[in-house]
Amino acid sequence: MSHKPKTVLVVDDDEGMRDTLTAILKRDYRVLRVATGEAALPILSREDVDLMLLDVRLPGISGFEVLRIVKENYSLVEVIMISAISEIETAVQAMKHGAYHYITKDFDYDQLRSLVRHAGERQDLNRQVLTLSAQVAEQGEREFIVGPSKVMREIVDLVKKIGKLSATVLVLGESGTGKELLARMIHRESGEPDAPFIAVNLAAIPRDLTESTLFGHERGAFTGAHRQQLGKFELASGGTLFLDEIGDLRLDLQSKLLRAIQEGEIERVGGSKPIKTEFRLIAATNLDLDKAVKEGRFREDLYYRINVIPIKLPPLRERPEDIPQLADFFVRRYNTRFRKQIQGLSDSTFAVLKKYWWPGNIRELENLIERLVAMSDKDYISEEDLPLDLHFAQLEPQNDHSESLFEDASNTFERSFILRALEKCGGNVTATAEYLGIPLSTLKYKMDKLDVRQLAKRLRGA
């Protein structure tokens, strides 16, 4: 916790009481003081107030009204109500409205100090709860999302079977398919979810730092090694070590990894004695390791050692039926982050997404949904909101003639152009024809040809 003193705001119309409270608290707290509720509210908006000592009876806005405003707008501020007389009904009302405590003005000095200290401790606890909640929410965002496709259901069933086993797992899949999230899911199924999960992206570590990052180093092992450092293998002891992009690991370090797996021990850089470590290894790569072995870029014995339980994550383009569930999940996530209330994506939008190639897989889909949610102020994201490169994915020429491809491209651009004009005119077809400067009959013909009449009806209904 920070050593910065907490700020106490004293609100009392009695100057003598303000002086007394300030004298009691100023040694341990930063004390601000005002005589009225009207003067207190601006301070709350510009100062980081932690605690309040608030008189029940104030000129103008009453103490209870100030308490109500504080609890509605500054919920972490703990309020101690003060009254000249002891009234059970007043005390009960104060606590009911969210006050931390209620005391009379004939208080004992030590009692007051203790009460303020405990109020501060409760505020610290509330802040910690909020922090932990944010961390839990962040972990929730890193959830492995499973769609309705058969292949993903089979993967989840396999994970549940192998979760509690100590066997090494090799996750194969293109970039962006969620290999690390799957590894975290396997870790959670281990029965010891509180054990460490250490993730290392080998492709992101500079080559000259890979060994010390994985195995640690002793002080003085190399220039700049001013102190001993534990490596990822030691940090993962008792838990799971996830090595992403293992196909990028240097050949000389592949032998050290093989020993760590087989013998359960490592040596730090510059060290002279083996260090025992026990962990569950999950490796992942987007490379063809069979090919890498044949080309001499990956050790055959290591390959067989890590390929005990292989799991292949399919690319998103091979499971388009999962896209609606994934997209809806990302919409909810970014609704929360951007404070939006978008209900989802239209059916026609999903139709476009399902035909796209998704070279970046789930990561690309998430980035797209984040951008769409951030930019949209509508209830539903429609296909005209999508970037043009996704519309190009729908161009499927019926034969090898370039005229067919050109016609498909023209229709795609024309359809998008009409959709945007319809939206601008609120779905009014007559107004849209005037806006585009074409006859109404021509617009209706093109709307039928390009299948956009339903959208116009929906826009009019909105």
> Is the pLDDT at 369 greater than 80, yes or no?
yes
In tens, the pLDDT along 146-168 reads: 788 999 999 999 999 998 888 99
CATH 3.40.50.300 residue ranges for the chain: 154-313
Considering only 2-6, 32-36, 203-207, which range has the smallest mean pLDDT?
A: 2-6
- Residues in Cβ contact with 283 at an 8 Å cutoff, skipping those fewer than 6 apart: 168, 169, 170, 171, 242, 243, 244, 246, 306
Instruction: For residues 149 and 156, give the distance between their C-alpha atoms in angstroms, rounded to a whole number.
Output: 11
- Mean pLDDT score of the chain, rounded to an integer? 84
> Is the pLDDT at 226 greater than 50, yes or no?
yes
Taking residues 324-337, what's their average pLDDT? 92
Give the relative orientation of helices 63-73 and 37-46 as an angle to the nearest 10 degrees.
20
> Is the pLDDT at 138 greater than 80, yes or no?
no
CATH 1.10.8.60 residue ranges for the chain: 318-461
- Residues in Cβ contact with 73 at an 8 Å cutoff, skipping those fewer than 6 apart: 44
Compute the residue count for the chain: 462
For residue 402, what pLDDT is reported?
46
- Structure-token pair, residue 126: 């509330």
Q: Which carries the bigger pLDDT value, residue 450 or residue 217?
A: 217
- Residues in Cβ contact with 322 at an 8 Å cutoff, skipping those fewer than 6 apart: 146, 147, 148, 149, 152, 316
Instruction: Assign 77 a pLDDT band (cuts: 50, 70, 90).
Output: confident
For residue 408, what pLDDT is reported?
64
> Is the pLDDT at 349 greater than 80, yes or no?
yes
> Is the pLDDT at 123 greater than 90, yes or no?
no
CATH 3.40.50.2300 residue ranges for the chain: 7-139
For residue 392, what pLDDT is reported?
61
CATH of domain 318-461: 1.10.8.60
What is the three-state SS of the chain? CCCCCCEEEEECCCHHHHHHHHHHHCCCCEEEEECCHHHHHHHHHHCCCCEEEEECCCCCCCHHHHHHHHHHHCCCCEEEEEECCCCHHHHHHHHHCCCCEEEECCCCHHHHHHHHHHHHHHHHHHHHHHHHHHHHHHHHHCCCCCCCCHHHHHHHHHHHHHCCCCCCEEEECCCCCCHHHHHHHHHHCCCCCCCCEEEEEHHHCCHHHHHHHHHEECCCCCCCCCCCEECHHHHCCCCEEEEECHHHCCHHHHHHHHHHHHHCEECCECCCCCEECCCEEEEEECCCHHHHHHCCCCCHHHHHHHCCEEEECCCHHHCHHHHHHHHHHHHHHHHHHHCCCCCEECHHHHHHHHHCCCCCHHHHHHHHHHHHHHHCCCCEECHHHCCHHHHHCCCCCCCCCHHHHHHHHHHHHHHHHHHHHHHHCCCCHHHHHHHHCCCHHHHHHHHHHHCCHHHHHHHHHC
> Is the pLDDT at 137 greater than 50, yes or no?
no
> Is the pLDDT at 22 greater than 90, yes or no?
yes
**Residues of the chain above pLDDT 90, percent:** 41
In tens, the pLDDT along 381-398 reads: 988 888 866 766 655 444
> 265-266 and 275-276: which strand pairing?
antiparallel
CATH superfamily of this structure's domain 154-313: P-loop containing nucleotide triphosphate hydrolases (3.40.50.300)
> Is the pLDDT at 87 greater than 80, yes or no?
no
Phi then psi for residue 112, to 5 deg, are -65, -45
> Is the pLDDT at 132 greater than 70, yes or no?
no
Instruction: Assign 2 a pLDDT band (cuts: 50, 70, 90).
Output: very low
Taking residues 193-208, what's their average pLDDT? 85
For residue 179, what pLDDT is reported?
93
In tens, the pLDDT along 261-303 reads: 998 888 888 877 788 888 999 999 999 999 999 999 999 999 9
**For the chain, what is the radius of gyration of the CA atoms?**
32
> Is the pLDDT at 459 greater than 50, yes or no?
yes
Report pTM.
0.57
Instruction: For residues 153 and 40, give the distance between their C-alpha atoms in angstroms, rounded to a whole number.
Output: 58
What CATH topology corresponds to 7-139?
Rossmann fold (3.40.50)
For residue 192, what pLDDT is reported?
80
